[in-house]
């Protein structure tokens, strides 16, 4: 403890990186597609909330047929690959937080994509050593990491599946064969991304009509290639994806792209989902639990909430500018540490327990207590020996992603966030699904003034994520399951929703629908509606640089009460909560 305090006191002296304008405020290219009024859904025993009605309905059926939460998750993910292809799929990665009711046990499974084994550290630098423009890096083969979602689904089924693996793919195979109706959201995103999608012949053939025009909402779309892939996967298990025909097709696609990448058959054959210890951080009488590194999501949330636990937000309430001053600056402090220290802990030392240490967070909270205006400057704490210092990470982030929350009738629960990174990933379509661009979640610069960046590219490393599939526990029992897409904004979306529910007593639907206010280390970003119209000038007067912007979350929550479940889907996307009671 003393060492932590001493290190922290030395922070101002040791941290010699004056520039902290980290590029964390990229707009989400998976753009808004309209507001859809949502009502709370209640169930007695079982419930599913996913980002798309087809996926929720298919998962609901699995639950009604006696499937476990994990079975329903596998079915939902297979359907989402088809109907929400821009956000997640077989070609991406995911994190799972799982509650096993009979053993009263929380576990996490890391299906994050990995850097192919021959990925160079300067992958995203131009010939002058400067970072590539973001979309030059994203589109094509060089951004494709070894996908992890299929391995996660397979492992989760080995651990927690009840129904036969093969049956879980039937709904997606049926839909891919007979066709699904293109949603307004998918059509909007195809239309907005048509220039990029046109760069891959397979994507163009799939997402454009015979006249070369983007598909419109209401069109029926079949995907026979994906139906074949899902059939093989359902019959042969995960090996069908990581070896043989499909693996060869992915490797060839990446190698033959206009900007070729590094994926090999060996990378695919050796990919494994990793079981990791869940990361839990206290907040008032609750535990906030989720995925540790390589995700920064739970850690940043835990830090921000640990700081905020020193203030009485309940008394201040959601309309008081001081509440938002505290939330914004707690978030800035958490992001300063995140950008400096957090990466794949299999490759770099991440001071997780130090970052969540109660004394450290009290000292960070004291910074907010000293004044009632915005902190003029925010710097990371210093924990590592001088020689192991890290340089700040300036990764741009343009997110996509999806979140699903499920509870089965036995009380098992799933919180899974799944991604192919950018909207439509690398835009490379192979065998009916899109390949991720997850390598762009690494820092483009491996070092800064000779000092290494924690989240630099290294072979076989997993890029840092912000995904925060969360379970809030009270008295060691799940109380709330929540998560969202949104890249680094995920942290702010989940933070705000958790405070809305735990401190301000909002219902899950009120919580996910509330106008967002988030701070990722640059401007204070606000959705332009509701109370935010009054809060923005007040927060500006407190010293924040405020900016109205689209904050396109996809929060999907289930609250577990003694005799009922309450589900909520984000009105900003097309998700649906469905009860699955027998």
Residues annotated as catalytic are: 401
Q: Choose among 295, 327, 296, 277: nearest CA to 502.
A: 327
| Smallest gap from residue 398 Cβ to ligand GLY (A) | 9
Question: Of residues 393-422, which lie at the interface with ligand GLY (CB under 6 A)?
Answer: 399, 401, 419, 421
| Smallest gap from residue 283 Cβ to ligand GLY (A) | 22
| Nearer of residues 121 and 419 to ligand GLY, judged by Cβ | 419
**How far is residue 279's CA from residue 421's CA, in Å, rounded to a whole number?**
23
Interface with ligand GLY includes 487 (CB under 6 A)? yes
| Smallest gap from residue 420 Cβ to ligand GLY (A) | 8
> What element of type H or E holds 528?
none
| Nearer of residues 147 and 478 to ligand GLY, judged by Cβ | 147
For residue 140, the Cα-to-chain-centroid distance in whole angstroms is: 22
Choices 253-261, 424-432, 465-473, 544-552; region in contact with ligand GLY by CB under 6 A = 465-473
For residue 454, how many other CB atoms are within 10 A of its CB?
25
Q: Which residue is nearest to ligand GLY (CB)?
A: 465
- The full 3-state SS of 133-177, as one line of letters, equals CHHHHHCCHHHCCECCHHHHHHHHHHHHCCCCHHHHHHHHHHHHH
| Nearer of residues 357 and 421 to ligand GLY, judged by Cβ | 421
**Residue count (the chain):** 582
* Contacting residue, 254, 384, 467, 498, with ligand GLY by CB under 6 A: 467
Choices 10-18, 350-358, 364-372, 463-471; region in contact with ligand GLY by CB under 6 A = 463-471
| Nearer of residues 100 and 339 to ligand GLY, judged by Cβ | 339
Q: How many helices (H) and strands (E) does the chain have?
A: 22, 23
| Nearer of residues 183 and 465 to ligand GLY, judged by Cβ | 465
Question: Of residues 437-456, which lie at the interface with ligand GLY (CB under 6 A)?
Answer: 441
**How far is residue 457's CA from residue 438's CA, in Å, rounded to a whole number?**
11
**How far is residue 295's CA from residue 273's CA, in Å, rounded to a whole number?**
14
180 in helix, strand or coil?
Answer: strand
**Residue 288 φ then ψ, to 5°:** -100, 110
Please report the DSSP string for 240-304 in residue order: HHHSTHHHHHHHHHHHTSSS-----HHHHHT---EEE--EEEEETTEEEEE--TTB-HHHHHHHH
**How far is residue 140's CA from residue 260's CA, in Å, rounded to a whole number?**
7
| Smallest gap from residue 387 Cβ to ligand GLY (A) | 30
| Nearer of residues 167 and 345 to ligand GLY, judged by Cβ | 345
**How far is residue 517's CA from residue 502's CA, in Å, rounded to a whole number?**
17
Interface with ligand GLY includes 425 (CB under 6 A)? no
Choices 82-90, 152-160, 383-391, 461-469; region in contact with ligand GLY by CB under 6 A = 461-469
| Smallest gap from residue 419 Cβ to ligand GLY (A) | 5
Question: Of residues 258-287, which lie at the interface with ligand GLY (CB under 6 A)?
Answer: none
| Nearer of residues 145 and 263 to ligand GLY, judged by Cβ | 145
| Smallest gap from residue 485 Cβ to ligand GLY (A) | 8
**How far is residue 130's CA from residue 341's CA, in Å, rounded to a whole number?**
22
| Smallest gap from residue 535 Cβ to ligand GLY (A) | 27
Choices 177-185, 446-454, 464-472, 551-559; region in contact with ligand GLY by CB under 6 A = 464-472
**How far is residue 139's CA from residue 259's CA, in Å, rounded to a whole number?**
8
| Nearer of residues 267 and 441 to ligand GLY, judged by Cβ | 441
* Contacting residue, 121, 466, 532, 552, with ligand GLY by CB under 6 A: 466
| Nearer of residues 8 and 444 to ligand GLY, judged by Cβ | 444
**Residue 443 φ then ψ, to 5°:** -65, 135
| Smallest gap from residue 92 Cβ to ligand GLY (A) | 9
**How far is residue 396's CA from residue 191's CA, in Å, rounded to a whole number?**
23
| Smallest gap from residue 494 Cβ to ligand GLY (A) | 12
CB 27 within 8 A of CB 551: no
* Contacting residue, 52, 465, 484, 552, with ligand GLY by CB under 6 A: 465
- Assign residue 177 a region (left: φ > 0; alpha: ψ between -120 and 50; beta: otherwise): alpha
Interface with ligand GLY includes 293 (CB under 6 A)? no
Count interface residues toward ligand GLY (CB under 6 A). 9
Report the interface residues with ligand GLY, using CB under 6 A: 399, 401, 419, 421, 441, 465-467, 487
């Amino acid at each position: 403890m003393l060492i932590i305090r001493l290190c922290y006191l030395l922070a101002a002296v040791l941290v010699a990186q004056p520039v902290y304008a980290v590029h964390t405020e990229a707009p989400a290219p998976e753009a808004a597609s309209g507001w859809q009024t949502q009502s709370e859904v209640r169930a007695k025993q079982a419930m599913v909330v996913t980002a798309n009605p087809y996926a929720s309905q298919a998962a609901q059926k699995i639950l009604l047929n006696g499937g476990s939460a994990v079975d329903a998750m596998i079915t939902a993910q297979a359907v989402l690959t088809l109907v929400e292809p821009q956000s997640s799929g077989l070609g991406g990665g995911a994190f799972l937080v799982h509650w096993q009711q009979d053993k009263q046990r929380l576990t996490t499974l890391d299906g994050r994509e990995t850097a192919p084994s021959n990925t160079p550290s300067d992958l995203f630098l131009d010939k002058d050593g400067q970072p590539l423009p973001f979309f030059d890096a994203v589109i094509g083969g060089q951004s494709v990491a070894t996908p992890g979602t299929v391995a996660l689904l397979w492992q989760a089924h080995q651990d927690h599946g009840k129904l036969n693996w093969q049956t879980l793919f039937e709904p997606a195979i049926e839909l891919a064969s007979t066709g699904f109706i293109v949603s307004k959201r998918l059509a909007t995103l195809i239309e907005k991304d048509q220039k990029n999608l046109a760069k891959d012949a397979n994507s163009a053939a799939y997402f454009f009509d015979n006249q070369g025009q983007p598909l419109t909402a209401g069109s029926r779309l079949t995907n026979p290639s994906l139906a074949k892939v899902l059939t093989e996967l359902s019959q042969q298990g995960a090996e069908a994806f990581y070896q043989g025909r499909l693996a060869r097709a992915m490797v060839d696609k990446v190698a033959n792209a206009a900007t070729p990448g590094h994926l090999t058959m060996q990378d695919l054959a050796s990919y494994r989902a990793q079981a990791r210890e869940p990361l839990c951080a206290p907040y008032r009488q609750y535990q906030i639990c989720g995925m540790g590194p390589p995700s920064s999501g739970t850690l940043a949330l835990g830090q921000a909430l640990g700081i905020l636990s020193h203030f009485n937000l309940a008394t201040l309430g959601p309309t008081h500018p001081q509440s938002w001053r505290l939330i914004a600056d707690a978030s800035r402090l958490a992001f300063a540490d995140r950008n400096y220290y957090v990466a794949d802990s299999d490759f770099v030392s991440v001071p997780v327990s130090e970052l969540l240490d109660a004394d450290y967070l009290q000292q960070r909270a004291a910074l907010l207590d000293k004044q009632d205006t915005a902190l003029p400057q925010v710097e990371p704490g210093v924990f590592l020996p001088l020689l192991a210092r890290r340089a700040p990470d300036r990764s741009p982030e343009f997110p996509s992603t999806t979140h699903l929350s499920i509870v089965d009738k036995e009380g098992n629960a799933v919180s899974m966030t799944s991604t192919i990174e950018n909207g439509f990933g690398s835009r490379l379509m192979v065998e009916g699904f899109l390949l991720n661009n997850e390598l762009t979640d690494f820092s483009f610069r491996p070092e800064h003034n000779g000092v290494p960046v924690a989240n630099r590219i290294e072979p076989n490393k997993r890029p840092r994520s912000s995904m925060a599939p969360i379970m809030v526990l009270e008295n060691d029992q799940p109380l709330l399951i929540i998560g969202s897409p949104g890249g680094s904004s995920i942290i702010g979306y989940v933070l705000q929703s958790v405070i809305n529910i735990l401190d301000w007593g909002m219902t899950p639907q009120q919580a996910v629908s509330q106008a967002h206010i988030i701070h990722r280390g640059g401007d204070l970003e606000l959705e332009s509606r509701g109370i935010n119209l009054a809060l923005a000038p007040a927060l500006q007067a407190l010293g924040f640089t405020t900016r109205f912007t689209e904050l396109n979350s996809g929060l999907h929550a289930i609250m577990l009460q003694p005799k009922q479940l309450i589900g909520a889907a984000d009105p900003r996307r097309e998700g649906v909560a469905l009860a699955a009671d027998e």
